[in-house]
């Protein structure tokens, strides 16, 4: 039996690379999908660390018209996809008063985080239903605590994550009869290239009690949750929302 294939968007760095590393260690072959050129340093470093079972495919998640062809190419070259980790996303272009958000900034964030993520999952789900299954199959959406916790200075980002979180719920219902699990992982404040610019600000807030676990999260924290989901150990929990945030999203007095 061929090792299962995991497709990970944005898997060349941060949370995506953490998940890719964990899944490779669990016996998965890895297909990384992201926007940087194949000769970008971070891509080469990721492939080197993941080993010969990893491949890289360049793709713009916002280009939804090109997504079906990408999935067809990956499956033709590597076989059916057992797990999709829809991780790639972008932050708000500008943090500030939500009354100043422009249509262009809104469309940029939702075009990738919501629209692009949905049509990637749709294309993979269609492939899963069309191909015989040798392994447990799953779709993991890496959303954010911002799917439920509002931030007025980056409302467009929160809206984009809330939208794809609902897509995860709907897709879980659609695919449950076929034994395909769908899960919503909601990272909190994670140390990645995306959060590097606000590191000092959030460190002070964490030290002030914002995160009950009293530390930054790390990509490995999300990766540790991803492996049992991708391998079917939580198959009957399809549709579950899993905060990975050190208690950040727990309502408190």
Distance of alpha carbon 79 from alpha carbon 204, whole angstroms: 47
Q: Where are the domains of the chain?
A: 5-244
CB–CB of 28/6 below 8 Å? yes
Tokens of 237: 């929990």
Confidence (pLDDT) at 200: 85
Confidence (pLDDT) at 225: 98
Residues 4-16 have a mean pLDDT of 97
Tokens of 1: 């039996």
H-assigned helices in 5-115: 14-25, 41-50, 67-78, 103-110
CB–CB of 138/181 below 8 Å? yes
* Chain center to CA of 190: 13
Instruction: Give 238-250 pLDDT, tens digit per residue.
Output: 999 999 999 999 9
Instruction: Give 108-128 pLDDT, tens digit per residue.
Output: 999 999 999 999 999 999 999
- Does residue 62 have a pLDDT over 80? yes
Instruction: For domain 5-244, say whether CATH 2.30.30.240 is its number.
Output: no
Confidence of residue 1 (pLDDT cuts 50, 70, 90): low
Instruction: Give 189-230 pLDDT, tens digit per residue.
Output: 999 887 877 888 899 999 999 999 999 999 999 999 999 999
CB–CB of 163/110 below 8 Å? yes
DSSP 167-230: HHHHHHHHHGGGTEEEEEEEE-SB-SGGGGGGHHHHHHHHHTTSSTT-S-B-HHHHHHHHHHHH
Distance of alpha carbon 36 from alpha carbon 24, whole angstroms: 21
Instruction: Give 83-103 pLDDT, tens digit per residue.
Output: 999 999 999 999 999 999 999
Of the candidates 12, 62, 2, 49, the one whose C-alpha atom is nearest the C-alpha of residue 32 is 12
Instruction: Give 139-186 pLDDT, tens digit per residue.
Output: 999 999 999 999 999 999 999 999 999 999 999 999 999 999 999 999
Instruction: Give 23-58 pLDDT, tens digit per residue.
Output: 999 999 999 999 999 999 999 999 999 999 999 999
Instruction: Label residue 77 exposed, middle or buried (CB < 10 Å: 0-12, 13-18, 19+).
Output: exposed
CB–CB of 11/20 below 8 Å? yes
Spatial strand order in the sheet of 180-187: 54-58, 29-34, 5-9, 83-86, 137-142, 180-187, 241-244
Of the candidates 135, 141, 117, the one whose C-alpha atom is nearest the C-alpha of residue 60 is 117
Confidence (pLDDT) at 22: 98
Q: What is the sign, positive or negative, of the torsion defined by CA atoms of 11, 16, 18, 23?
A: negative
Residues 60-64 have a mean pLDDT of 97
Confidence (pLDDT) at 133: 84
Distance of alpha carbon 66 from alpha carbon 69, whole angstroms: 6
């Amino acid at each position: 039996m061929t090792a299962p294939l995991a497709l990970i968007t944005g898997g060349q760095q941060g949370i995506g690379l953490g998940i890719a590393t964990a899944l490779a260690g669990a016996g998965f072959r890895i297909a990384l999908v992201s926007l940087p050129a194949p000769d970008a340093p971070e891509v080469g470093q990721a492939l080197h660390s993941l080993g010969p079972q990893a491949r890289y495919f360049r793709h713009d998640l916002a280009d939804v018209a090109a997504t079906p062809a990408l999935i067809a190419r990956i499956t033709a070259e590597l076989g059916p996809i057992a797990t999709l980790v829809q991780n790639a996303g972008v932050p708000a272009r500008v943090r500030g008063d939500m009354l100043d958000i422009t249509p262009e900034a809104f469309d940029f964030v939702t075009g990738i985080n919501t629209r692009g993520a949905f049509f990637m999952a749709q294309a993979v789900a269609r492939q899963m239903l069309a191909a015989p299954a040798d392994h447990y199959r799953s779709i993991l959406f890496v959303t954010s605590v911002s799917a439920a916790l509002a931030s007025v200075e980056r409302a467009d980002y929160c809206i984009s994550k809330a939208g794809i979180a609902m897509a995860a719920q709907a897709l879980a219902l659609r695919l449950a009869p076929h034994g395909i699990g769908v899960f919503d992982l909601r990272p909190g404040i994670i140390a990645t290239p995306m959060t590097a610019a606000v590191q000092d600000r959030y460190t002070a807030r964490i030290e002030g009690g914002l995160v009950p676990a009293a530390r930054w999260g790390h990509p490995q924290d999300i990766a540790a949750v991803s492996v049992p989901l991708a391998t079917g150990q939580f198959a009957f929990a399809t549709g579950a929302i899993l905060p990975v945030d050190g208690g950040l999203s727990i309502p408190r007095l």
